[in-house]
């Protein structure tokens, strides 16, 4: 049977592999980034009501109008231009779809797109699905800084786009003003399109606030802003993402969305509109809870002998295991992650799986901590039993 060349260039997600391994071995799943705590009751009720009220057919392809209306209001404020629900917003089946169609909308075969690594594992396949060439820039621990020099060396005459994820998975970085300036300079100098992934825009620590790169005046006309509801509202299985973009870019994106998924699930979009109507107290409570989880996860890692820097945003920690007092500390990341899952009962993601470039991510595994206190405490017991006493 003949299959395409593109499917030889990537495989299924290592993150989702680790979830399957966790299920097989009854491990605490700190690999894939999804909450194990409940979803806000008002949102759940809104979904149930929508189904009962008969919102069970396709919505128009761009998205359920009240949801687009909410998003247009939010993004007019965030981006500083008049985002119109009928022209500039499209609701997608998750951020994953949004990234794929954004790349397909702006890249031709052979065009290059710059991806900063470590990177979430759908960016590279998305570029390949668009018949484009992903060009990786490796960022390195402990600070994972973006510099103008590294951006300059990645650009060629084929570069057309740059993908920027902020707050960043897996490092927890929130790019600062100097880094955003470097991105802006390179995008303008080489006439690139900026595609952003801002799925963690509401999960920030230590008083930080989110800055959408597309709000920078110089980037407004050339930025495809992408985010989603899955992480913010603990509904990752609802598959709700969205794209906000100026006219020309959105016109290119919409047919791709239409023929990829027609529309995101209608009743869940209705519940998404309800979610975006939650009062500020929801976000305050969520932020406080994430600070507690981050503190607990950092303490667990330190007590069990890992070395890590607290994230500035998102809900992951890249932890260095090389100084653990066990022979497995010498294993490469995949072998260590598998050992930790199957023998210690705590599933994590190997650090090198976030890099396409060889030689990066050594000695690192990613812990996801959007979990109940009990879950994290059970992980702590398992780690202590296996790492400290072995």
Ligand X SMILES: Cc1ncc(COP(=O)(O)O)c(C=O)c1O
Residues of the shown chain interacting with ligand X in the complex, contacts defined by CB under 6 A: 33, 94-96, 120, 165, 169, 197, 199, 228, 230, 236, 241
Contact status, residue 238 vs residue 230, Cβ threshold 8 Å: yes
Tokens in use for 389? Answer: 């006493």
What is the nearest approach in angstroms of ligand X to the Cβ of residue 314? 7
- Pick between residue 214 and residue 230 the one whose CB is nearest to ligand X: 230
- In the complex, the smallest distance separating the C-beta of residue 20 from ligand X, rounded to whole angstroms, is 16
User: How far is 291 from 297, CA to CA, in rounded Å?
Assistant: 10
Spatial distance between the Cα atoms of 326 and 387, rounded to a whole number of angstroms: 7
Structure tokens at 224: 């495809």
Report the distance separating Cα 225 and Cα 196, nearest Å: 5
Tokens of 169: 């998975």
Residue 123 in tokens: 């960016």
Provide the minimum distance between the beta carbon of 313 and ligand X in the complex, in angstroms, as a whole number.
11
Structure tokens at 102: 């954004």
CA dist., res. 289 & res. 285, Å (int): 6
List of long-range contacts for 49-58, beta carbons under 8 Å, 24+ apart: 49/270, 50/266, 50/267, 50/268, 50/270, 50/271, 51/267, 55/266, 55/267, 55/270, 56/266, 56/267, 57/266, 58/262, 58/263, 58/266
Q: Which two tokens stand for residue 99?
A: 């990234």
Q: What length does the chain have?
A: 390
Q: Which residue is nearest to ligand X (CB)?
A: 94
Least distance between ligand X and beta carbon 360 (Å): 18
Please, which residue, 91 or 380, has the CB nearer to ligand X? 91
Q: Which of 308, 261, 293, 299 minimizes the C-alpha distance to 369? A: 293
Tokens describing residue 349? 């993601």
SS3 label, residue 133: strand
Q: 204 vs 387, which CB is nearer to ligand X?
A: 204
Cβ-based nearer residue to ligand X, 180 or 329: 180
Q: How far is the CB of 236 from ligand X (least distance, A)?
A: 5
CA distance 160 to 92: 23
Beta strand 159-165 with 133-138 is: unpaired
Rounded Cα–Cα distance for residues 114 and 94 (Å): 22
- Cα–Cα dist 31/26, whole Å: 13
Q: Minimal distance in Å, beta carbon 323 to ligand X?
A: 27
Rounded least distance, CB 169 to ligand X, Å = 4
Q: Considering beta carbons, is residue 94 or 361 the nearer one to ligand X?
A: 94
Indicate the SS3 state at residue 63.
coil
Name which of 68 and 239 has its Cβ closer to ligand X.
239
Residue for token digits 């806000």?
A: 40
CB of 163 to ligand X, least distance (A): 10
Q: Between 95 and 182, name the residue whose CB sits nearer to ligand X.
A: 95
Alpha-carbon distance of 329 to 196, in angstroms, equals 35
Nearer to ligand X, 169 or 312 (CB): 169
Q: How far is the CB of 96 from ligand X (least distance, A)?
A: 3
> Whose Cβ is closer to ligand X: residue 35's or residue 94's?
94
90 versus 165: smaller Cβ distance to ligand X = 165
CB of 79 to ligand X, least distance (A): 19
Nearer to ligand X, 94 or 134 (CB): 94
In whole angstroms, how close is the CB of 370 to ligand X at the nearest point?
10
């Amino acid at each position: 049977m003949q299959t395409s060349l593109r499917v030889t260039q990537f495989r299924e997600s290592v993150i989702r592999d680790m979830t399957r391994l966790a299920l097989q071995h009854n491990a605490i799943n700190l690999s894939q980034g999804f909450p194990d705590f409940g979803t806000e009751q008002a949102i759940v009720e809104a979904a149930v009501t929508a189904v009962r009220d008969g919102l069970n057919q396709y919505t128009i392809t761009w998205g359920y109008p009240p949801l687009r209306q909410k998003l247009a209001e939010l993004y007019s404020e965030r981006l500083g231009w008049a985002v119109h629900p009928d022209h500039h917003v499209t609701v997608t089946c998750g951020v994953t779809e949004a990234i794929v169609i954004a790349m397909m909308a702006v890249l031709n075969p052979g065009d290059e797109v710059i991806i900063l690594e470590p990177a979430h594992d759908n960016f590279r396949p998305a570029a390949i699905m668009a018949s484009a060439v992903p060009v990786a820039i490796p960022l390195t621990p402990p600070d994972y800084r973006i510099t103008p020099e590294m951006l300059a060396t990645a650009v060629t005459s084929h570069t057309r786009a740059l993908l920027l994820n902020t707050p960043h998975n897996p490092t927890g970085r929130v790019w600062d003003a100097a880094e955003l300036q470097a991105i802006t300079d390179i995008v303008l100098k080489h006439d690139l399109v900026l595609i952003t992934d801002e799925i963690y825009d509401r999960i920030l620590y230590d008083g930080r606030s989110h800055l959408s790169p597309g709000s920078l005046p110089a980037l407004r006309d050339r930025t495809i802003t992408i985010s989603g509801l899955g992480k913010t509202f603990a509904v990752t299985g609802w598959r709700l993402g969205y794209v906000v973009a100026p006219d020309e870019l959105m016109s290119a994106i919409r047919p791709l969305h239409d023929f990829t998924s027609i529309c995101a699930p209608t009743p869940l979009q209705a519940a998404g509109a309800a979610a975006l109507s939650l009062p500020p107290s929801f976000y305050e409570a969520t932020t406080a809870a994430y600070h507690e989880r981050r503190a607990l996860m950092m303490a667990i890692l330190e007590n069990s002998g890992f070395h890590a820097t607290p994230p500035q945003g998102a809900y992951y920690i890249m932890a260095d295991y090389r100084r653990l007092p066990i022979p497995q500390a010498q294993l490469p990341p995949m072998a260590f992650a598998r050992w930790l899952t199957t023998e210690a009962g705590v599933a994590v993601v190997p650090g090198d799986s976030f890099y396409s470039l060889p030689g990066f991510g050594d000695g690192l595994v990613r812990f996801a901590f959007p979990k109940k206190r009990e879950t994290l405490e059970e992980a702590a017991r398992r780690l202590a039993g296996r790492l400290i006493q072995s």
